[in-house]
């Protein structure tokens, strides 16, 4: 649970960084996460 929270926080930070959206998309799609569908 704690690890998931940390990953989610990192995800939010990355999303807030302009130009890194593509990297975030790849990172999220590489994992089994519901956020991957949102960015696909």
Which positions ≥6 away from 35 have C-beta within 8 Å?
A: 11, 28
Q: What is the pTM of this model?
A: 0.17
- How far apart CA 2 and CA 29 sit, in angstroms, is 21
Mean pLDDT rounded to a whole number for the chain:
57
**Rounded mean pLDDT of 36-40?**
51
| DSSP string computed for 7-33 | HHHHHHHHHTSTT-HHHHHHHHHTSS-
């Amino acid at each position: 649970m704690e690890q998931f929270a940390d990953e989610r926080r990192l995800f939010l930070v990355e999303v807030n960084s302009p130009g890194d959206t593509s990297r975030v998309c790849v990172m999220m799609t590489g994992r089994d996460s519901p956020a991957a569908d949102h960015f696909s």
